[in-house]
């Protein structure tokens, strides 16, 4: 098991459902999935990219595993494992089968909710998008390529969010995700080390190598920047240089949200307003030749293209 019993119980109380036999993969229904079912709003990914929120499966094949301990991460970082230590792990087919089943079990209560959209209740039984971004670094899962392929065979779109540390694994993907994200949360190495707190050597160099090869991917690509007020909302011209180097299809400039265990490391003052995020996004856009094409005020995120 990747977690001891108390750790797993704590995560399950917060909404996680572990799938497979080895305790490294899990599902958790997103706030916007639940809101969409009762027609109270949708995720910005639906607004930006057409992803149906009520059919989105939020999951991770590597919940405890990450090479970084970012200050702004909402996870409990006490159980973080820097490397993949388990010799045994679940196969992609098992993870996908059980993830879909777990998602349906988590949402079954809505079938008795009079406010639920009946059409969406039928559709959510067969999710169509996998947000491989719940927790941890998904590319540490040894069969991440096979997992993406398994979702592709089932006609899912896949959004894979990576910190860019597993450079070779990213470069050697044979199965393309629908959209590959790289997190770019600092303009310079000093800020990166203080805010993202890497636990491996050459992490800044790894990130930059991944940025340099991003344009070679066949999938759609996106740079995501989490804005932490007082920490990394400086040097927009340097962010722009890094973005130009990566040449992504999209850039998401998004506010840090004061939620989860991040509240033990940061304060509410570190959460920028939507106007502050938008102003910073304009500065980056002006320097990297992109323009703001969409926004979601409630999620405090701006899309550049």
Task: Sketch out the chain's domains with CATH numbers.
Answer: 5-304 (3.20.20.70)
pLDDT at 1 over 50: no
Q: Provide the token pair at 23.
A: 């305790």
pLDDT at 265 over 60: yes
pLDDT at 242 over 50: yes
Task: Give the model's confidence band at 2: pLDDT under 50 very low, under 70 low, under 90 confident, else very high.
Answer: low
Give the integer Cα–Cα distance in Å for 170 and 191.
24
* pLDDT for the residue numbered 163: 97
Mean pLDDT computed over 259-281: 96
The pLDDT tens digits for 269-279 are: 999 999 999 99
Neighbours of 33 (CB within 10 A): 25
pLDDT at 86 over 80: no
Give the integer Cα–Cα distance in Å for 14 and 28.
9
Mean pLDDT computed over 168-194: 96
- Which sign does the torsion angle of CA 113, 118, 120, 122 carry? positive
Q: What pTM value is reported for the model? A: 0.93
133 Cβ neighbours under 8 A, 6+ residues apart: 58, 60, 159, 160, 161, 181
């Amino acid at each position: 098991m990747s977690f001891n019993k108390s750790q797993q119980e704590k995560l399950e109380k917060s909404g996680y459902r572990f799938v497979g036999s080895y305790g490294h993969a899990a599902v958790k229904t997103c706030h916007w999935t639940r809101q969409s079912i009762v027609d109270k709003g949708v995720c910005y990914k639906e607004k930006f990219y057409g992803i149906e929120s009520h059919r989105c499966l939020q999951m991770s094949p590597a919940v405890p595993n990450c090479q970084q301990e970012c200050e702004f991460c909402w996870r409990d970082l006490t159980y973080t494992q820097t490397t993949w230590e388990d010799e045994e792990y679940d196969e992609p087919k098992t993870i996908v089968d059980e993830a879909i089943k777990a998602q349906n079990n988590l949402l079954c209560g809505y079938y008795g909710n009079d406010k639920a959209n009946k059409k969406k209740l039928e559709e959510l039984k067969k999710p169509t998008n996998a947000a491989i971004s719940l927790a941890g670094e998904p590319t540490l899962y040894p069969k991440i390529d096979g997992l993406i392929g398994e979702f592709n065979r089932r006609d899912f779109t896949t959004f894979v969010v990576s910190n860019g540390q597993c450079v070779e694994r990213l470069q050697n993907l044979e199965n393309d995700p629908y959209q590959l994200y790289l997190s770019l949360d600092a303009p310079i190495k000093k800020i990166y080390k203080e805010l993202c707190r890497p636990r491996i050597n050459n992490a800044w160099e790894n990130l930059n190598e991944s940025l340099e090869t991003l344009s070679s991917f066949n999938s759609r690509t996106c740079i995501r920047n989490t804005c932490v007020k007082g920490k990394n909302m400086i040097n927009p011209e340097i962010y722009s240089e890094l973005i130009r180097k990566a040449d992504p299809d999209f850039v998401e400039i998004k506010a840090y949200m004061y939620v989860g265990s991040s509240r033990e490391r940061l304060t509410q003052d570190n959460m920028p307003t939507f106007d502050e995020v938008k102003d910073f996004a304009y500065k980056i856009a002006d320097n990297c030749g992109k323009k703001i094409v969409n926004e979601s005020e409630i999620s405090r995120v701006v899309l550049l293209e």
